[in-house]
Amino acid sequence: METLFCFRSSSPVGPLFLAASDKGLVRLEFQARMMKLDSHTAELRESGPALAPYLSQLDEYFSGERREFSFPLDLRGTDFQLACWRALLEIPYGETRSYRDIAQAIGHPHAHRAVGMSNNRNPVAIVVPCHRVIAASGSLCGYGGGLDIKRKLLDLEHSNLGPFLPLGIGA
């Protein structure tokens, strides 16, 4: 049986649940919407120290000091889900893409609804940034943490985008 280290933490967007294997972060979920872990294959062991590197980078993200996470992920899902989640990791900080954009990026241009379902099953919120996916119309839609949290995360990222001019421009 696999041991997953877990920890519950407060955050600016509410309580979070984190779980990590020896390979990397397995879960980062809003405590109000946690997916079940299979108790037959995984034993949860509470450990703040084991999750400290993840929590540190999350704190940096929420304070506007971090735009990309550098810790390892242990994503678990179907091949289609994994393709969707990898595409989400390619969305730059502070930018958004539509479900259709993600479907095209993974080579399934008509599968935007299936992309939405994969986003709904994303086990590593914030880090695998499904909050950066919006409707083709530009409106916010569908987010496991709720649209208010999706808006907060997008607002956080937009507020931390400063003017980054290439060297020599504006000097």
User: What residues are annotated to the active site?
Assistant: 130
In sequence order, the 6+-apart residues with CB closer than 8 A to the CB of 134 are: 96, 97, 98, 140, 141
Q: What are phi and psi of 8, to 5 degrees?
A: -105, 140
Question: How far apart are alpha carbons 21 and 97 in whole angstroms?
Answer: 30
In sequence order, the 6+-apart residues with CB closer than 8 A to the CB of 103 are: 109, 110, 111, 112, 114, 115
Question: How far apart are alpha carbons 42 and 20 in whole angstroms?
Answer: 11
Bridge partner list, 6 = 19, 46
- By DSSP bridging, strand 133-134 and strand 97-98 are parallel
